[in-house]
Chains A and B, each alone.
Chain A
Amino acid sequence: MNAVAPIIAAADERTLTATRFTVPGMRCAGCIAKIERELPKVDGIIAARANFSAKRVAIQHDPAIGEDRLTEALCNLGFEAQPVADNPLGQETGERQQLMRALGVAGFGMMNVMLLSVSIWSGAEGPTRDLFHWLSALIALPVIAYSGRPFFASAWMALSHRRTNMDVPISIGVILATALSLYETITGGGHAYFESAVMLLFFLLAGRALDAEMRTRTRAGIGALLGRMGKAASVIGADGTTRRVPAGNLEPGMLVLVAAGEALAADGAVEDGTSAIDNAMLTGESAPEPVGPGSAVHAGAINLSAPIRVRLTHVADDTAIAEIARLMDEAGQSRSHYVRIADRASRLYAPVVHSLAALAFIGWMIAGAGWHQSLVIAIAVLIITCPCAMGLAVPAAQVVASGALLRRGLLVKDGSALERLAECDVALFDKTGTLTLGEPCADVAALDPQARSVALGLAQASRHPLSRGLAAACLRAGVEPAAVEDIREVSGAGLIGRWQGMNVALERPEGEQQALATRLRIGDTAQTITFADPLRSDAAATLAALRGQGIAASILSGDRAAPVAAMARELGLAAEAEASPQAKLAALEALKADGRRPLMVGDGLNDGPALAAAHASIAPGTASDASQQAADAVFIGEKLMPVALAVQVARRTMKIVRENFAFSIAYNVFAVPLALFGLVTPLIAAIAMSVSSLVVVANSLRLARSTRP
């Protein structure tokens, strides 16, 4: 199946190191083939292996080659890449794998015990039945001990904190059913419930595995988008040589060299050189900021045009970014108190079920049925009410919904995010990068084809946001780049090159201008190209859709008042401008104090604390790393509609979940009297359990169609 399996000579293996990169640009089989075939042709790279689902590439290489060379090699193939730290998702993958193993074991046990049980139900008697019971016990006991661990451990945790959760009634039911069945087997009795206990574990594990699968899948997607912040810096030593130092080992007073295109790893002041920096991560402002000697620069900013030397002032936990991260941490605390709907349901459910079982036992004792029969009936009540359908009701619906949203470009981090999204009743939007695209978009309509082609030829050579915006606009218009030679980027001035013997340039227009602009010069003629940060094309439609769901929206932005007010008028929204991260946080807290449940949509790091404090939050895929991590969901692409869709699907999901709960309760209303009157045999328990689970899953599958337009 796997076409390109890199073969590594065993002798080399000791001297190799492996580095992993996240490569978000991997989109098709061609990309995999290109990476795995072309990379090993670079000197020192032995093998490359792509993981398409996680958008990662693992490279086996000579330790002499640094991360920059590998990044460059990937870049030469046309892929933007970032080295990733060692296995950040390892723990979660481990948990998911443990669940999958438990599911496999439970599936094996269920099939074999069921095979024996069917023979008993069809009339096996006497020694055959005893033999089959013993065989069932032999299979079921180790299976239950192994597969039940996730539930037993969680139930024990809850009980030792004097709380109860979904796993407590499950564990009690399974353990009692097993104990009773074992007793029946030893005494040669007729009713052993091994298949019910194992089947229960299997269905519940399926729910858990689905839940874990959803989390890892979307987190891998988000992880692939992360990693733009500087992780190391080139420190200039006393002798003028540079060495790479990880961000954690930097110290104030160090002089670092920041190359064009590199992200800063700490706060500092520019000592030498002029350049422009992209501060979008910190402020959300899309226009590049010119810096020269003396300017303060912050970690997370990207140096755009020319190398600068920076004297570090604040490192590691003292940087402006770390301060915001702390605010986010504190703001996120309130969210950990949120109680998932399944646990809320089980808080009501568990006491009812347990008292019913106790009542059944006492009732039959009073009626004079004897210890054994009373106990059998009480345990039958526990088995039949064990929240099998309930354990599946929530994860099944949420997994189907998140899968449907994933196809529409929205990654929801976990089930609790969906539950909170459904409850939101007011929405706050950041402006730049959220309502707008956040990247300058050039107006090239006024240029003739030749000028466009020269402009593209020049703009392609630079990482400056304006150049990139211009290049993107030209490429969208189907322009072929002209062969511009000798392109140089002059810091603070622009791009200069030669084309057909003429001097051509993209330069900074004269005078202070209101709008972002650049001037294209070809020979002696000059034209001004203006840039706008346009609204996302469906922003108005999205806001209307939200209003249709009863969610009023407003703007909460850190930008200047004038552009915010203009946009608020255009969209017909209330707006608050020039809000600091603390002010945004305060606005959210005020709403929550009023009993509202705010949905925050924002991208900048300055939105981070607000994202963490909101009842639910969504960030665009272009947002800063920290914001994406703080948000409950991330949407990808140029459309804003996934935000409205997320709320709509989340509400439909909760409707389905409530239907599933209602079904479970209705099923119990019929089944519990049967159990109370001692009519539940192992056969009836098994049928009831699988039918209710299948109905719940089938009902949840209806959500797959919920995102169809």
Chain B
Amino acid sequence: MTGLAFLIPIALGMGLLGLVAFLWSMRDGQYDDMDGAASRILIEDEDDEE
């Protein structure tokens, strides 16, 4: 029973963390251009780029 006092908050916290990460990534526009993200990996970085 005492174990639950730790484990349940941990489980909830991890779930909340995932939810917050999802909401943040959506607000950040990470799902706005899914096809573009797939293509951008193929762009070669130029030397003069930061």
Listed in ascending order, the chain A residues whose CB lies under 8 Å from chain B are 1-4, 7, 28-30, 32-33, 37, 50-54, 97, 100-101, 104-105, 107-108, 111-112, 115, 128, 131, 135, 139
**A28 close to B39 (CB less than 8 A):** yes
CA of A50 to CA of B32 in the docked complex: distance in angstroms? 11
Given contacts A115-B11, A135-B8, is CB(A33)–CB(B43) below 8 Å?
A: yes
Given contacts A29-B43, A101-B23, A108-B18, is CB(A52)–CB(B35) below 8 Å?
A: yes
Given contacts A51-B32, A53-B34, is CB(A2)–CB(B40) below 8 Å?
A: yes
Tell me which residues across on chain A come within 8 A of B50, comparing CB atoms.
7
Q: Which of A53, A101, A128, A131 contacts B32 (CB 8 A)?
A: A53
Closest chain-A Cβ to B9's Cβ sits at a distance in Å of: 10
CA of A37 to CA of B45 in the docked complex: distance in angstroms? 11
Tell me which residues across on chain B come within 8 A of A3, comparing CB atoms.
40-41, 43, 45
**B1 close to A128 (CB less than 8 A):** yes
**B40 close to A112 (CB less than 8 A):** no
Q: Of residues 1 to 50 in B, which have CB atoms within 8 Å of A's CB atoms? A: 1, 4, 8, 11-12, 15-16, 18-19, 22-23, 26, 31-37, 39-46, 49-50
Given contacts A51-B32, A135-B8, is CB(A97)–CB(B26) below 8 Å?
A: yes
Listed in ascending order, the chain B residues whose CB lies under 8 Å from chain A are 1, 4, 8, 11-12, 15-16, 18-19, 22-23, 26, 31-37, 39-46, 49-50
**B19 close to A104 (CB less than 8 A):** yes
Q: Which of B11, B12, B18, B35 contacts A53 (CB 8 A)?
A: B35
**B43 close to A4 (CB less than 8 A):** yes
Tell me which residues across on chain B come within 8 A of A52, comparing CB atoms.
33, 35-36, 39-40
Given contacts A33-B43, A52-B36, A53-B33, is CB(A100)–CB(B26) below 8 Å?
A: yes
**B39 close to A4 (CB less than 8 A):** no
Tell me how many residue pairs across A and B have CB atoms closer than 8 Å. Answer: 68
Chain B residues touching A, majority SS: helix
Q: Which of B15, B44, B49 contacts A111 (CB 8 A)?
A: B15
Closest chain-A Cβ to B26's Cβ sits at a distance in Å of: 6
**B15 close to A32 (CB less than 8 A):** no
Q: Which of B1, B33, B39 contacts A29 (CB 8 A)?
A: B39
Given contacts A7-B50, A53-B34, is CB(A29)–CB(B40) below 8 Å?
A: yes
CA of A51 to CA of B45 in the docked complex: distance in angstroms? 19
Tell me which residues across on chain B come within 8 A of A128, comparing CB atoms.
1, 4
Q: Which of A2, A28, A112 contacts B15 (CB 8 A)?
A: A112
Tell me which residues across on chain B come within 8 A of A111, comparing CB atoms.
15
Shortest Cβ distance from B17 into A: residue:
A108
Shortest Cβ distance from A103 into B: residue:
B22
**A104 close to B23 (CB less than 8 A):** yes
Closest chain-B Cβ to A94's Cβ sits at a distance in Å of: 12
CA of A105 to CA of B8 in the docked complex: distance in angstroms? 18
Shortest Cβ distance from B46 into A: residue:
A37
Q: Give 17 A-B contacts (CB < 8 Å), ordered by A residue.
A: A2-B40, A3-B41, A3-B43, A7-B50, A32-B40, A33-B43, A51-B33, A52-B40, A53-B34, A100-B26, A101-B23, A104-B23, A108-B19, A112-B11, A112-B15, A131-B4, A139-B12
Tell me which residues across on chain A come within 8 A of B41, comparing CB atoms.
1, 3, 29
Tell me which residues across on chain A come within 8 A of B46, comparing CB atoms.
37
CA of A131 to CA of B19 in the docked complex: distance in angstroms? 24
CA of A246 to CA of B37 in the docked complex: distance in angstroms? 35
Told that A29-B42, A51-B36, A100-B31 touch, could you supply 9 new A-B pairs with CB distance under 8 A? A3-B45, A29-B40, A37-B46, A53-B36, A107-B19, A108-B16, A112-B12, A128-B1, A131-B4
Most buried by B among A3, A4, A100, A115: A3
Shortest Cβ distance from A116 into B: residue:
B8
Shortest Cβ distance from A1 into B: residue:
B37
**A54 close to B33 (CB less than 8 A):** yes
**A32 close to B26 (CB less than 8 A):** no
